[in-house]
Amino acid sequence: MAIAAAISLPLTSPTRCYLNISDQFRSLSSSYSPFSTCQFNFFKKDSTRICPSVRISTSASMSIQTPEKSSPPTSFLDRRESGFLHFVKYHGLGNDFILVDNRNSSEPKITPEQAVKLCDRNFGIGADGVIFVMPGINGTDYTVRIFNSDGSEPEMCGNGVRCFARFIAELENLQGKQSFTVHSGAGLIVLEIQDDGQVKVDMGEPILKASDVPTRLPANKDQSVVKAELNVDGVTWNATCVSMGNPHCVIFGSKEGQNLQVDELKLAEIGPKFEHHEMFPARTNTEFVQVFSPSHLKMRVWERGAGATLACGTGACATVVAAVLEGRAGRNCTVELPGGPLQIEWREKDNHVYMTGPAEAVFYGSVPL
């Protein structure tokens, strides 16, 4: 059977076009029929629409009998074709993830090696990691597991769990304010979707004991490492070490007293030297921080297993804890990241760290495995 496709492109110049696909893509994919007409709009980067009537239509070249009653459309996420992985891509302040519905199994649907391929930004979907929604254990509502873009498995990811929360709300068709408990490699976390759509995460208590972070730097304040000397590539930095279920090394400046100008850092050069430093037996995430005021911090991050990212939720939490320990900031701060701001509170009452920020769906897709 031949299928004819007609495409009209009313372009008057060779101006480059950008395809604008909104959240309506989901409804399009769920109700798709091979005999339908789709319309797309093309935009310049400045949002000027330049191709207002691109239409793609398909029609059969021979008559086909179809049932009088068709089955109701199936949700995109409910499809179960064998050999395909269905996913939704989300981002939290530009830190992007492939979200997979894994509620029917306690084992991830893909391997770490497959995750590496899917996260490749040239030959795959492109992401900082793959996140699986799995059945809860030990009385929790859900379990989260994460594969980084290099195939390693972190204990926790702050931006990722906000995306996780929004994905659950979509899977379960939850509306309005919602709260649920999640088992993670870092222990129990509590996620709360706010009325405005932002997600507040109870990240639990920060871990400060040097051996538990872990770091080989000697403790210099009780059992913790605060503003300790760390030599990296001939420069002595002041390092404060914090674990938010995963290890962090927070840097505000060097021993010489030079405060950071984070936008001037050559992060790709210096980041890996911190990550793989001998003082961090499990490697480390590294936050480079500039202090604008006691309630406003600016941070760039080199993430263990992912490299330079636009945002790191656990890193923002560790940054505020470190800033308080060094006497640089208060317990409630806006942390400015390349992808946008997060609100972080280290609450004195219960010693828990709370993170609030956005998470948004980017697109829906299927990929052959």
Per-residue pLDDT for the chain (369 aa), expressed as one digit of tens each? 333 333 233 333 333 333 333 343 343 334 333 323 333 343 444 444 434 333 333 333 333 333 343 444 455 566 556 789 999 999 999 999 999 999 999 999 999 999 999 999 999 999 999 999 999 999 999 999 999 999 999 999 999 999 999 999 999 999 999 999 999 999 999 999 999 999 999 999 999 999 999 999 999 999 999 999 999 989 999 999 999 999 999 999 998 877 889 999 999 999 999 999 999 999 999 999 999 999 999 999 999 999 999 999 999 999 999 999 999 999 999 999 999 999 999 999 999 999 999 999 999 999 998
Q: How many CA atoms lie within 13 A of 71 on its CB side?
A: 3
The answer for residues whose C-beta is within 8 angstroms of residue 209's C-beta and 6 or more apart is: 219, 223, 224
d(CA 223, CA 217): 11
Evaluate whether residue 87 is within a structural domain.
no
Its domain, for residue 51, covers: 1-79
**183 and 294 belong to one structural domain:** no
Total residues found in the chain within this entry:
369
Q: Could you tell me if 33 and 69 lie in one domain?
A: yes
Q: Count CB atoms within 10 A of the CB of residue 260.
A: 19
Residue 267 amino acid letter? L
CATH code: domain of residue 360: 3.10.310.10
Domain count, the chain: 3
Can you state the percent helix, strand and coil of the chain, rounding each to 5? 15, 40, 45
How many other β-carbons are positioned within 10 Å of the β-carbon of residue 264?
7
Verify cis geometry, omega within 30 degrees of 0, for the bond prior to 214.
yes
Residue 308 within a domain: yes
Domain co-membership, 143 together with 196: yes
Q: Write out the catalytic residue numbers.
A: 157, 312
Last residue of one domain, picked from the residues 20, 51, 79 = 79
Distance between start and end Cα atoms, the chain: 28
Pair (227, 251) in one structural domain:
yes
| Residues 128, 72 share a domain | no
Same-domain pairing of 318 and 367: no
* CA diameter of the chain: 81
Is the same domain home to 288 and 368?
no
Residue at which a domain ends, from 58, 79, 100? 79
